[in-house]
Structure 1
Amino acid sequence: MIDRRDFLRLGAVGAGAVFLSGLARTAGAATVRDFYFVQMSDAHWGYQGPANPDAQHTLQKAVVLVNSLKVRPDFIVFTGDLSHTTDDPAERRKRLTEFKQIVSELKVKDRHFIPGEHDASLDNGAAFKEMFGPSNYTFDHKGVHFIALDNVSDPHGSIGEAQLAWLKQDLAAQDRNARIVVFAHRPLFPLVPKWDWTTRDGDKAIALLMPYRNVTVFYGHIHQENHHMTGHIAHHSAKSLIFPFPAPGSQEKRTPVPWDPAMPYKGLGVREVESKPNQAEYPITEFPLARS
């Protein structure tokens, strides 16, 4: 089990979400052993602006502090918007290359990436795939089945029929009691459609997941903590590494929360998510940022 003081230290920069698994065997499901991983989201490498005057250093600080954890995570997952959007294909590749170089300093070598719309929507994910490989995939780790979805390479914010067919085929091989964790960038449900906080065909993915009893979705995109249930499926968003957004639907237009020099990194943080034996729920403890 990771030392709580390490979470507080990590909370000084805002590295997304941390998932702690303490799962036990359920009927018909594989044995699940304890482990944890770190989720980092929405680094927006290449961003320059008043919403984060320290944008050139935030990601590096996150890397240093994740490396300082006494108990090394099993793996790290980045849930999109690795880079900040640009119309220039050469600049997009430059930013993704710089991002990849910075996170290569992480001591955890098992790293997983999915794109955000800033990385992929202008070229259908071409640059992302060149740098990081497939934008949707699965892997299994200590009894948990992980599914990474791409709901951003389509410029309209859809998963698409081909990927939905792939998801259906993958799920068909899983027991209904299997422990399933889904990673996506956008929320799969219509949180605030006018802010582009939705996936156009996310309801189709949720329908495919609904027959499975132990499903949890971790996503990014909205730059803040949010918890939502679709039936028995829990959806948890990760805070950002660059700047927070206001509460969902709280204003007409989505604009970053202004940087407060008196409280730098306000609205960024980490969370501990722990699963307990024989429970599908994941208690979450958030750690707000206390310093720059």
Structure 2
Amino acid sequence: MKRFFFTFIFVLLLSGTAIALTDRPVSHLNDAKITQPSANEFTFIVLGDFRTLRRDKAYPAVFEQILREVNTIAPALIVSTGDAYYGYGGSMQGFKNEIDYFLSRIKGLDVPFFNATGNHEVAGDAERERYAEKRFGRLYGAFDYGNAHFIMLNTDEVGKEGTISGEQLKWLEKDLETNSNAGNIFVFMHRPMFSVTDPELVAGKSFKDKGNRDYLHSLFNRYKVKSVFAGHEHIFNETVKDGVSYFITGGAGSPLYQPPSKGGFFHYLIVKVRGNDVSIDVVVPYTIQARTISGNDGFESKAEMEITNISFAAVDIRNLQFIMPAAAADKYKVRATSISKRGQVNAHAVRIRNVKGNKDGTATVSVETQVPKNGLIRIVVEVDI
């Protein structure tokens, strides 16, 4: 795991919805509710490039694992840098089915899911582009969370692939000016402006126009954009230009392009905002795992789970779920212990975040705690019935 630290300034906005100061607000793609932060602390996750290998293939197992981990971490938001399904070839009905399959996989998440448009979302085809917009809403636009302004760009407008140009560029200039006083500005796109696999932009597979790229960078520099997140290249990379951080995060399940030493490893990013301090952790899937020790079946009044974190950074867990017999919320109790490398057992901070009744006479009890780096936590939930 690699860690990056930045300093941001946050001012709390009291709005209850993610609506930006823009004429092109974009929406998340699942049913999860957006809750604005009550303090200058929140977390969001960035991932990208998890499309299937072919049209007739299931999602990679590593992407399914990332979904499980992300749902357990329960950040405020998930933002994808695109390529959510295969998209190319086959019939139009097959294309529609792929979108249905993608949406079915994120529907059950308890976290709002935003997606930047990639080449696989529209497949370079005007009809598919129109249908994608019908299903997803605007393919570029913006939204706000707290006092952070999130800009979602479309590097794959049909006929303008690999650029931000025309009406979209005019909109971007206006949006940046309108939101120039935002505490933080984050930009998301699919094709990276500063390619690793094609740094001189001669192959035309990532960003295509140096002049357009350099102008965009000048805008981002002028308006003090903090970070730009892209995908497309199935690697992890970070570079800084004039104080603007450019990330390539294309490792959420699609085939990798490079060996691990060159960024070719599966991963996602956890962005933690803590007042004026923001850290970005690169997380490798399967480093966070939970297992049931006893109970957790909806029948037993006591359940015990163990959660491990073998990464190099502490991870805040907000949605570790226990299935318990249904009861009033105040009837549940939770305790946790951490176990050191020497086997020493210590009490560990933990709390019940939410209790949700299920139709089968059980309840889902969500537990919140922090799992230290290279740490193991055992959590017990009991109910008095």
TM superposition score category, shorter chain reference: 0.7 to 0.9
Structure 1 residue 170: Cα displacement: 0.7
Answering whether residue 165 of structure 2 is matched by residue 163 of structure 1, we say: no
- Which whole-Å CA distance do the structure 2 matches of 1:269 and 1:83 have between them? 18
Change (3 A) 1:19 1:105: farther
Kindly provide the CA deviation profile for residues 232-269 of structure 1, in whole angstroms up to 9, marking residues without a partner as x.
2110111232221127xx9xxxxxx9xxxxxxxx8102
Aligned equivalent of 2:50: 43
Q: CA RMSD in A?
A: 3.5
TM-score, normalisation: structure 2: 0.57
| The one of 233, 237, 241 aligned to 1:226 | 237
| The one of 216, 238, 243 aligned to 2:227 | 216
- Which whole-Å CA distance do the structure 2 matches of 1:131 and 1:18 have between them? 36
Aligned equivalent of 1:173: 178
**Greater relative contact order (Cα < 8 A, sep 6+):** 1
Aligned equivalent of 1:94: 97
| Mapped contact 1:78–1:112 kept (Cα < 8 A) | yes
Q: Which amino acid aligns with 1:93?
A: K
| Mapped contact 1:270–1:288 kept (Cα < 8 A) | yes
- Once the two structures are superposed, the pairs formed by residues 56-67 of structure 1 within 5 Å of their partners are 56-67=60-71
Structure 1 residue 196: Cα displacement: 1.5
SS class of match (2:185): strand
Q: Which amino acid aligns with 2:136?
A: F
Q: Which runs of 5+ in 1 are unaligned?
A: 1-7, 9-16, 251-256, 258-265
- Which whole-Å CA distance do the structure 2 matches of 1:275 and 1:19 have between them? 12
Whichever structure has more strand as a proportion of its residues is 2
> Which structure has the greater CA radius of gyration?
2
Change (3 A) 1:183 1:233: same
SS class of match (2:253): coil
Q: Which amino acid aligns with 1:224?
A: I
Structure 1 residue 23: Cα displacement: 4.1
| The one of 261, 265, 268 aligned to 2:266 | 268
Kindly provide the CA deviation profile for residues 2-47 of structure 1, in whole angstroms up to 9, marking residues without a partner as x.
xxxxxx9xxxxxxxx999998435xxx7778211112231111363
Answering whether residue 257 of structure 2 is matched by residue 245 of structure 1, we say: yes
| Mapped contact 1:20–1:273 kept (Cα < 8 A) | no
- Which whole-Å CA distance do the structure 2 matches of 1:120 and 1:190 have between them? 21
Q: Which runs of 5+ in 2 are unaligned?
A: 14-38, 290-385
TM-score, normalisation: structure 1: 0.73
Change (3 A) 1:276 1:36: closer
| The one of 211, 228, 247 aligned to 1:236 | 247
Q: Which amino acid aligns with 1:288?
A: V
Change (3 A) 1:197 1:142: same
| The one of 143, 149, 156 aligned to 1:152 | 156
Aligned residues: 251
